[in-house]
Structure 1
Amino acid sequence: MTRWDAVRVRQGLVDSCCSAEQAGDQALRRGRPREARRHYERMLAEAIRLAEQFPDLSTRRDLTLAFNKYGAFWVGAHRLDQAAEAYAEGLAVATRLREENPDDIRLLRDLRFGEFTLGEIARQTGGPAGRRTAHDHCTTALALAEHLVGTDPHHTGDRRELGVVQERLGLLATERQELDEAAEWYARALSVRRELAAELPGDPRARRDLGVQYERLGDLALRRRDLEAARAHYDESLSLRRSLLGDDPRDLSTQRDLSVVCERLGDVALLTDGPEQARQWYDDSFAILDAAFGPKHPDTRTLRKKLRGHPVTPN
């Protein structure tokens, strides 16, 4: 095969891989998961052929990304076992590449992503074994995240991911009932997210991350029955959620987040101020959900049941 023949073959495989991925994405948007799966499997097969025939850094890294894409499909299909297998394959490719290219920052980020994602999948499987596996993956992801931030302290994306990993370690500690450890991780994540929100006041994601962190701290304080601290953290989260909704009133994700914080403030009010004050927060939460998602949405139904069981019963 001449050089130009090789170029044509390589480009043909690249085009075929991209075409299959785009077809899979389109099938998913149309609500055709079986068709999407066929396209993604063709994408993966072409990525494997490409990496085998032209085993350079670029094609092998693209293979990692193809495995990750296939894993994301299985996450969306709620098949976590299949997703874990795909992400593990991608992580194995990235690990080998990192051994050969230790100074490539992109590979460090690929490894951090793979470790964190496998940790998330393990956490969702539940049980002590899943939490232990999740903790191991997240601890490795933390070391990678810290290394990346140490390499470039001004990289906002890497700093954000560091906060994400710290927050997840706090959540895992909470699930293990290690509340002091959880508080330490949440405090570290809060510091990162406060800095980013201050540096990027126009970035809604930075404010959203900070709102999540205050909500986590509120949940932890509520669990400890430190009700004043819980209220203070939820108030901070509420303010951030409202500012985000002001930026985009149609954002359903922000509306749902705002509803959750109102419900949490109702839980605090129920323990501190009584049912009438709690009911005001619960009504606000229900109104947001009902307007955004409608009366048949699972979250709306759940909150309606909570209201019906409340001492102050809605009509």
Structure 2
Amino acid sequence: MDFGWLLAGAVNSIVVGARWLGRQEASTLASLSGVVALVWVVGALGRRWRRRSTARKIASEKLGDEARALKERLRQRLAEPAGILPDVVIGAPTMGASQAFERDMEAAAKTMLIEAGGHRAKAKRVLRSRLDGNGALNGSEIGYWRQLGALSLLDSTHDALAAYSRAADLAPNDPEGQMLFGVLSLRAGKLDAAEAAFRRQIRLGGAEDGGLARYRGGTMLGDVFVARAAFDDALNAYQDAQREVMALLEKDPENPALQRDLSVTCDRVGDVLVGKGDLDAALESYRCGLGIAETLAKRDPKHAGWQRDLSVSHDRIGEILIKTGDLAGALESFRQGLAIAERLAASHAHDLEWQWDLSLSHDRVGDVLAAMGKPAEALESYRRGLAIAEEVAPQDPANFARQRELAVSYHKAGLIEAACQNSDEARDLLEKGRAIIARLERIASYRAQWRSDLLRFDTALRALGP
């Protein structure tokens, strides 16, 4: 370390001291000079240490903020449906996978992102270069592939799948690695690969203490069958997984993670029963999940995830009650879900996911009120949802599902305005919705869906007259 700057400061102080002392003896001046020099060195080193300590603290806090932001983006990415239309189980909770992906992201944030100066694209380039043999890995090759996969997942399921596929190949006996590869294969629509991965995960959990791997693999194997519309196979897979979770709960009945996973299996079973047309059995299964969700939400009212689970459970039951014709019961369920969504949105004012959930809750209430022949109340609910959606959707223009949902809300509100003879308001709403679909129609992958949507808007607009 260069101490020249310290000595220069000390010399300046000595000169000042000498002028002040005037004709003091040489020994006194020498002693004073030594003391001043020592004080300067110690003081300067202390100041430099404090500056570096502060800088390290700021850098650490910045790194922590970046890691949290990346993990939150990862959660949102995993919460998105695999396709544009959300009516698929593929977008449902992935048993334990989200936490594993987040751990990989955190590992990348603590290592490669630091080395790359916080630039994610550069971190991915460095990882690829080292994995290609250009530089020392300084760690597990499997871990590096998983870090690359987690960083890639924020932008591309395809790139993430390639990285996690390599990690799974390198660790064929790791059930978690098989699970993550299976989840991404499922999201990418590679159902055969997903099925093979989940079956390997189940086999690897064959030991007495492997119940966790078995029920998680079994649940997601059921998701594969649902994607194939093989509902009987899906129901068997979900019920097998449910029995595994219940066996674990007998040994550890107060385990909240197991309780939550049991509620997820109840919801999955309910989803399949809806697909099979057995609404009474589906409602019973959903209510089983609701009971667990209520217990967890009461246990920790500040746990946002458990509160959201409870809101979703109310919404699922509301959807079933609509199908059975119990509109009053459906409205009550949706309003309970709305109350929770309002609290979550208020406490997470800058979180787009919570705000969007609130918008959808208003929309569901509006749907039931419209079905009950209460257009004024329905329109009020739709308008509240639209006000939120209009704020959120432009902040994430690449989220086509949200863009389409906003357009659908415009359509529903526009039809009610038209029915109430409010032609100008109806036209304004319908034209806004049509403009969104017209933009989306340019996306070839979903052109058939967009054209169908455009036809609905054009039909409604023609009904208003010239």
Query: TM-score over 0.5 for the alignment?
Result: yes
Residue aligning to 1:80:
191
Q: Is the 2:205–2:212 Cα contact (8 Å) retained in structure 1?
A: no
The counterpart of 2:216, out of the listed 113, 116, 124, is 113
The counterpart of 1:299, out of the listed 405, 415, 427, is 405
Residue aligning to 1:308:
414
Task: State the identity as a percent.
Answer: 23
Q: Is the 1:286–1:304 Cα contact (8 Å) retained in structure 2?
A: yes
Does the residue aligned with 1:281 lie in a helix, a strand or coil?
helix
Q: CA deviation at 1:256?
A: 2.4
CA–CA separation in structure 2 for the residues paired with 1:261 and 1:134: 29
Q: CA deviation at 1:33?
A: 4.8
Asked whether 1:154 is paired with 2:254, we answer yes
Q: CA deviation at 1:200?
A: 1.1
CA–CA separation in structure 1 for the residues paired with 2:197 and 2:324: 39
Q: Is the 2:218–2:240 Cα contact (8 Å) retained in structure 1?
A: yes
Residue aligning to 1:203:
303
Residue aligning to 1:18:
143
Q: CA deviation at 1:298?
A: 1.9
User: Quick one: which amino acid aligns to residue 148 of structure 1?
Assistant: L
CA–CA separation in structure 1 for the residues paired with 2:193 and 2:175: 16
Q: Is the 1:13–1:47 Cα contact (8 Å) retained in structure 2?
A: no
Does the residue aligned with 1:190 lie in a helix, a strand or coil?
helix
Q: How does 1:3-152 map to 2 (within 5 A)?
A: 15-29=140-154, 31-48=155-172, 60=173, 63-95=174-206, 98=207, 102=208, 104=209, 107-126=210-229, 130-152=230-252
Q: CA deviation at 1:264?
A: 1.5
| CA separation of 1:145 and 1:184: change in aligned 2, threshold 3 A | same
| CA separation of 1:34 and 1:239: change in aligned 2, threshold 3 A | closer
Which runs of 5 or more structure 1 residues have no equivalent in the other structure?
1-11, 49-59
Q: CA deviation at 1:308?
A: 3.3
CA–CA separation in structure 1 for the residues paired with 2:159 and 2:334: 43
User: Quick one: which amino acid aligns to residue 281 of structure 1?
Assistant: S
CA–CA separation in structure 2 for the residues paired with 1:80 and 1:253: 28
Asked whether 1:224 is paired with 2:324, we answer yes
CA–CA separation in structure 1 for the residues paired with 2:392 and 2:184: 27
| CA separation of 1:19 and 1:304: change in aligned 2, threshold 3 A | same
Q: CA deviation at 1:34?
A: 4.8
| CA separation of 1:81 and 1:14: change in aligned 2, threshold 3 A | farther
Task: Write out per-residue CA displacement over residues 54-113 of structure 1, whole angstroms, 9 at most, x where no aligned residue.
Answer: xxxxxx3xx211111111222332333332222222222223xx2xxx1x2xx2111110
Which moves more between the two structures, 73-82 or 230-239?
A: 73-82
Q: Is the 2:158–2:188 Cα contact (8 Å) retained in structure 1?
A: no
Which runs of 5 or more structure 2 residues have no equivalent in the other structure?
1-136, 421-425, 429-466
Which moves more between the two structures, 198-207 or 264-273?
A: 264-273
The counterpart of 2:358, out of the listed 258, 264, 285, is 258
| CA separation of 1:40 and 1:303: change in aligned 2, threshold 3 A | same
CA–CA separation in structure 1 for the residues paired with 2:163 and 2:288: 42
Does the residue aligned with 2:271 lie in a helix, a strand or coil?
helix
Root-mean-square deviation (CA, aligned residues, Å) is 2.1
User: Quick one: which amino acid aligns to residue 83 of structure 1?
Assistant: A
Which moves more between the two structures, 303-312 or 267-276?
A: 303-312
Q: How does 1:185-200 map to 2 (within 5 A)?
A: 185-200=285-300
CA–CA separation in structure 2 for the residues paired with 1:91 and 1:33: 24
Residue aligning to 2:43:
none
| CA separation of 1:124 and 1:281: change in aligned 2, threshold 3 A | farther
CA–CA separation in structure 2 for the residues paired with 1:13 and 1:43: 16
Q: TM-score, normalised by structure 1?
A: 0.82
Q: TM-score, normalised by structure 2?
A: 0.56
Q: Is the 1:13–1:46 Cα contact (8 Å) retained in structure 2?
A: no
Task: Write out per-residue CA displacement over residues 231-269 of structure 1, whole angstroms, 9 at most, x where no aligned residue.
Answer: 111111000111111221222222222222211111111
CA–CA separation in structure 2 for the residues paired with 1:155 and 1:205: 16
Q: CA deviation at 1:14?
A: 7.4
Q: Is the 1:197–1:203 Cα contact (8 Å) retained in structure 2?
A: yes
Does the residue aligned with 1:250 lie in a helix, a strand or coil?
coil
CA–CA separation in structure 2 for the residues paired with 1:157 and 1:301: 37
